């Protein structure tokens, strides 16, 4: 997570709270507001300027509900909801919208892949889909033989995740189901959706793609570090593939993935960030809840062909651009069959038909193929050209 400090430890007595809340809304900021008292911390999380969640932690780390929607509202008597007094400080940290949403999914009792969004190294920092084409992002991930995932969402929810192994798309998740075989066309709203890409350990992306097989095997409480280690040792000795999900007394959530009993990674989702954690301190005598979910990994990974299509406000669907590498191959095939003059003809044909080889939709690509075919005078070479084109993946 890449946090940027917009406000840091401002004294509550000297700031205009209403103006700060208004600025967060007007600028559509994403991140979290932190108000600190000597015995308490309040958190409000924002996505696109709107509050999406909140929590209060006392001095002992116990988590309590927070009326985050009414935090800055005065009632008829002038009492301010949320703000206890002005003996404290205020900070605001900006985060990408896709990385703020994970704090909302942290509250899910039954974990899903969405609980782990933002884990890993940023391959592509979250960005609006007006700025990048998700299909080209996917092509780049394939060429890089990426192990990890692609995530798409808006200011309110995650919409889908695509899991990659060595650049191959092995599973697609849309919040309701996992798809591991066949074709998927997923609609993206250009003005509101974000896309991000993260690289992970190979085992992590594989196990995330199998989370529809989660089965609760163990549910227990532990009161010490030794209690947690005993459960970890049991998993190792039984060579279990599973997810250990612990809600700690501090309000943090600890995840540990095991593959055939071998610890793969520990992930600590704290109050303000998600980080790798090989070891976590457990205060003796505290109540901590733990669940262990078994995971079934298939003997062979899936293979899904995903295509992202744009949808505008009028609900018209736009086909994505054909990969530039495919267009270059088409040009090469044309030159091979018509001869050296092919390069000159190629440029002339594109210009006269108003086509841009860097931004060819599938419809334009098919139209260009027909135009090029008709330019080849020899029937034998024309047939060879079409045969080569048929082998291309668009």
* Rounded distance between C-alpha atoms, residue 127 and residue 327, angstroms: 26
Reported as a pLDDT band with limits 50, 70 and 90, residue 79 is: very low
Which of 134-138, 299-303, 349-353 comes out lowest in average pLDDT?
349-353
- Higher-confidence residue of 17 and 307: namely 307
Percentage of the chain beyond pLDDT 90 is 52
Q: Is the per-residue pLDDT at 80 higher than 50?
A: no
Q: Report the relative pairing of strands 288-294 and 242-247 from DSSP bridges.
A: antiparallel
DSSP string across 51-93? EEEEEEEETT--EE---GGGTT-B-TT-PBSS---SSSEEEEE
- Higher-confidence residue of 7 and 205: namely 205
380: Cβ contacts below 8 Å, ≥ 6 apart: none
Here the tokens at position 229 are 């280690």
Here the tokens at position 330 are 């088409």
* Rounded distance between C-alpha atoms, residue 282 and residue 288, angstroms: 9
215 beta partners: 294
Here the tokens at position 278 are 């090989």
Reported as a pLDDT band with limits 50, 70 and 90, residue 55 is: confident
Residue range 331-359: mean pLDDT, rounded: 88
* Rounded distance between C-alpha atoms, residue 368 and residue 366, angstroms: 5
Reported as a pLDDT band with limits 50, 70 and 90, residue 83 is: low
Place of tokens 């391959």: 123
Q: Is the per-residue pLDDT at 371 higher than 60?
A: yes
* Rounded distance between C-alpha atoms, residue 98 and residue 57, angstroms: 24
71 beta partners: none
Q: Is the per-residue pLDDT at 76 higher than 90?
A: no
The distance in angstroms from the start CA to the end CA of the chain is 35
Residue range 342-366: mean pLDDT, rounded: 84
Reported as a pLDDT band with limits 50, 70 and 90, residue 73 is: very low
Q: Is the per-residue pLDDT at 77 higher than 50?
A: no
Q: What are phi and psi of 206, to 5 degrees?
A: -65, -45
* Rounded distance between C-alpha atoms, residue 283 and residue 279, angstroms: 13
Reported as a pLDDT band with limits 50, 70 and 90, residue 285 is: confident
Work out whether the CA dihedral 366, 369, 375, 381 comes out positive or negative: negative
What's residue 315's pLDDT? Answer: 46
Q: pLDDT (tens digit, 9 = 90+) per residue, 132-174?
A: 899 999 999 999 999 999 999 999 899 999 999 999 999 999 9
Q: Is the per-residue pLDDT at 13 higher than 90?
A: no
Residue range 350-366: mean pLDDT, rounded: 82
What's residue 82's pLDDT? Answer: 55
Q: pLDDT (tens digit, 9 = 90+) per residue, 96-127?
A: 999 998 888 877 778 999 999 999 999 999 99
Percentage of the chain beyond pLDDT 70 is 93
């Amino acid at each position: 997570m890449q946090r940027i400090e917009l406000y840091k430890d401002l004294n509550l007595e000297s700031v205009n709270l209403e103006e700060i809340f208004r600025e967060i809304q007007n600028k559509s900021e994403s991140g979290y507001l932190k108000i600190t008292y000597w015995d308490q911390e309040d958190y409000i999380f924002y996505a696109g300027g709107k509050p999406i969640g909140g929590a209060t932690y006392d001095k002992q780390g116990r988590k309590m509900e927070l009326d985050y929607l009414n935090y800055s509202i005065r009632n008829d008597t002038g009492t301010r909801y949320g703000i206890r007094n002005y003996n404290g400080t205020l900070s605001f940290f900006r985060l990408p919208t896709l990385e703020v949403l994970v704090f909302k999914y942290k509250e899910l009792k039954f974990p899903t892949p969405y609980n782990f969004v933002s884990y890993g190294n940023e391959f592509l920092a979250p960005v609006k889909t007006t700025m990048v084409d998700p299909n080209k992002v996917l092509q780049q991930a394939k060429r890089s033989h990426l192990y990890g995932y692609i995530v798409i969402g808006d200011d309110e929810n995650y919409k889908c995740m695509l899991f990659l192994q060595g650049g191959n798309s092995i599973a697609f998740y849309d919040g309701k189901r996992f798809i591991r075989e066949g074709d998927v066309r997923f609609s993206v709203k250009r003005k509101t959706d974000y896309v991000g890409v993260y690289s992970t350990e190979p085992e992590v992306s594989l196990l995330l793609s199998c989370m529809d097989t989660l089965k609760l095997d163990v549910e227990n409480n532990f009161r010490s570090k030794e209690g947690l280690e005993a459960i970890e040792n049991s998993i190792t000795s039984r060579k279990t593939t599973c997810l250990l999900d612990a809600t700690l007394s501090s309000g943090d959530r600890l995840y540990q993935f095991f593959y055939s009993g071998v610890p793969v990674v520990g992930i600590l989702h704290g109050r303000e960030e998600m980080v790798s954690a090989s070891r976590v301190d457990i205060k003796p005598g505290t109540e901590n809840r733990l669940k262990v979910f078994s995971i079934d990994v298939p003997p062979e990974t899936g293979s899904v062909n995903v295509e992202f299509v744009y949808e505008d406000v009028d609900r018209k669907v736009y086909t994505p651009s054909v990969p530039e590498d495919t267009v270059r191959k088409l040009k090469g095939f044309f030159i091979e069959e018509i001869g050296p003059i092919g390069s000159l003809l190629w440029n002339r044909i594109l210009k006269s038909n108003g086509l841009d080889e860097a931004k060819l939709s599938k419809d334009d690509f098919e139209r260009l193929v027909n135009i090029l075919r008709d330019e080849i005078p020899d029937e034998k070479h024309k047939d060879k050209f079409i045969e080569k084109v048929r082998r291309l993946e668009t």
